[in-house]
Chains A and B, each alone.
Chain A
Amino acid sequence: MANLDTQHKSHDMGLHQEQLTGRTQQVFFSPAAEDNFLYPESFDVDLDNKAEFDAGEMEISAINLKIRALMQAGHGHIVVKNPLAKHSLGVGILNRLKLEFIGSLGYFGCGLIDGPNVRVHGRVGWSFAENMMAGTAVVEKNAGSTFGAAIRGGDLVCKGDVGSRTGIDQKGGTIIVGGRSGAFSGFMMQRGRMIILGDAGINLGDSMYDGTIYVGGKIASLGVDAVPGEVNELEADWLERKLSAHGLSAPNGARNLQKIVAGKKLWNYDNLEPTEKKIVL
């Protein structure tokens, strides 16, 4: 069990100010609790053991089964060539893995992943990395709408432009967009951080419960209950480190990013008891 008394830097950054108890207590990851994080369908792989295959003529299910078979054989670095924008590739991977796609993915790529480090040397379609739990997923070109829908953890990065509803229902983790992000980005966001280095479309952060959005470019409009905040020094340092880790930087420096947070004036805040709010969040 994680030590709940441990002071975390995130508290200093204002990201976790609430004191949670009972069934709503927040459990922070601890290496000591590692054995609690294993899944039945995860594999023990060697990250230096590389394999690659050409997916150009393969069906979607065959590609995913091939990835699984390679992991089962202990390969920890898998390169998939010619994915040809096929849908639902690289989904449900629950262990450490270096996974590379040389080309573009279609819809629902790399959904439900927990742990792998994914790199797509191309574009991704709608709903990339939906429900991602942990790990990193980096897209070198553009992405479609609902990028990172409902992610709960990890770093999700698109170095190009992204469509609408980025990070809809985001529940944790960090989403980074190198270019522009479309309408309703951060819609109903509940936790985590989103960094948009370019412009943001209309209704940014609409109905967000919590979490933080940072924007480097112009914001077309803010959504309902999304309000400006101030970037403090700790956040700026964290932003710089996080962006530089992915080879990115804020256009005018991290300190000049616009910060958007929840105004917390929606009906649910007025109608719920404090303990109920914690359950909702």
Chain B
Amino acid sequence: MCGIAGLIHRDGSAEIGSELTSMLQALKHRGPDSSGFALYGEPQGDDYMLRFKVAEQEDMAHGFDIRDEVKKRKALVDERIESGGTKIVEQENATDYAFRYRLSFDNGAVDDHSNMKRFADYLEDVEGAEILSMGRALELVKDLGDATRVSDQYQLGTFTGTHAIGHTRMATESDVDIRSAHPYWAYPFSDVSVVHNGQLTNYWGFRREMERRGHRFMSNCDSELIAVYLADRMADGMPLKEAMDLSVSELDGVFTYLVATADSLGMAKDTMAAKPMVLYESDTFIGLASEEVAIRSIFPDEIDTWDPYEGEVMVWQI
């Protein structure tokens, strides 16, 4: 089933970490397998925020040498980051296997997505390494368990920012692991993330096409295709809204998805409107969720909400 949620504060930063946690926790019944957050904070100069992992959560319970192995993998990633002259300004061990770095590049070295791709591919060449997100504003966190558990684990309760999207997952067609959890970073585009509720029926055909075009897939989850699809279209110079409009006709199946960038948040719904989405919009706040109960978890007072219609694509600028 899965639940998705998003929020925008139009009048500046707010505690989006705790708000999105409440919204996703209210949707726990739609999927308790994993939870994920794509949080957009205030950019810190020209620095990039990197979220990555070097092992799955379940890996940590297997083998006597896994902790040493994880340390080796992380050291190798560090070495590769610094080999190009990039400085690790800050680093935080979110868990034993997932990390948060603040990176300083020389002269906007990864501002171009082809350079970003080279950098990401170099790091992901390390065994077990997966870049969860990279961007000036985006920080993507996902792990197994419900929203409160993941939020506490990664200390997201105090995270402030302007907008966010999130996901609570009921795994149906792929594994219960971090790589199959949402959100997905639209590799190699900085600050672009996607969450999805539904099923794509032309996944494999599209995946093979995308792989032929040089895109990488980290999981067998059909939702990852949406992030890759949008990245592919944007690589051709297509604006986000146009790419989303095209996705509604090209992606087959039933879906509602949310996509966020550094300065926008969008929603697309399939042509049969088979998957739910409820919207609330005011002058200062926009809330979106699979069920109204999620929005009401942060707005206990009565509000006016409505459902977007079939084939509808909406994009809000922050």
Contact = CB atoms under 8 A, between A and B. Distances in A.
B126 interface: no
B302 A183 contact: no
B291 A163 contact: no
B304 interface: yes
Interface in B242-296: 271-274, 276, 278, 291-293, 295-296
Contacts of A180: 309
A45 interface: no
B214 interface: no
B306 interface: yes
A144 interface: yes
Interface in B150-190: none
B291 A123 contact: no
A178 interface: no
A49 B105 CA distance: 73
Interface string A164-195: 11000000000000001011100000000000
B310 A164 contact: yes
Interface string A71-93: 00000000000101111000000
A85 B292 contact: yes
Interface residues of B, number: 19
A241 to B, nearest CB: 29
A145 B273 contact: yes
Contacts of B310: 164, 182-183, 201-202
B307 A202 contact: no
A103 interface: yes
B91 interface: no
A126 interface: yes
Contacts of A160: 306
A142 B302 contact: no
A123 B273 contact: no
B300 interface: yes
A85 B276 contact: no
B305 interface: yes
Nearest to A82: B300
A125 B272 contact: no
B302 A122 contact: yes
B270 to A, nearest CB: 10
B309 A84 contact: no
B309 A107 contact: no
A85 B293 CA distance: 5
Given A84-B296, A125-B278, A201-B310, A164 B273 contact: yes
Contacts of B304: 123, 141-142
- The DSSP consensus for interface residues of chain A is loop
A123 B293 contact: no
A210 interface: no
Interface string A189-232: 00000000000011000000000000000000000000000000
A141 B305 CA distance: 8
A104 B292 contact: yes
B296 A202 contact: no
Contact of A123 (B271, B292, B309): B292
Contacts of B295: 85
A28 B306 CA distance: 38
A184 B310 CA distance: 10
Contacts of A183: 271-273, 309-310
A126 B306 CA distance: 11
Interface string A93-115: 00000000001101100000000
Contacts of A123: 292, 304-306
Nearest to A203: B272
A190 B273 CA distance: 22
A123 B307 CA distance: 10
A202 B271 contact: yes
A155 interface: no
B306 A106 contact: no
A88 to B, nearest CB: 11
B307 A145 contact: yes
A233 to B, nearest CB: 34
B291 A103 contact: no
A86 B294 CA distance: 10
Interface in B210-230: none
B276 A106 contact: no
Nearest to B294: A85
Interface string A148-171: 000000000000110111000000
Contacts of B273: 145, 163-165, 182-183, 201
Interface in A242-256: none
A14 interface: no
Contacts of A84: 293, 296, 300
Interface of A: 56, 82, 84-87, 103-104, 106-107, 122-123, 125-126, 141-142, 144-145, 160-161, 163-165, 180, 182-184, 201-202
Given A142-B306, A161-B307, A184-B272, 6 more contacts: A56-B300, A85-B293, A123-B304, A182-B309, A183-B271, A183-B272
15 contacts: A56-B300, A84-B293, A84-B300, A85-B293, A104-B292, A106-B291, A106-B293, A123-B306, A141-B304, A142-B306, A161-B306, A163-B276, A164-B273, A164-B274, A183-B272
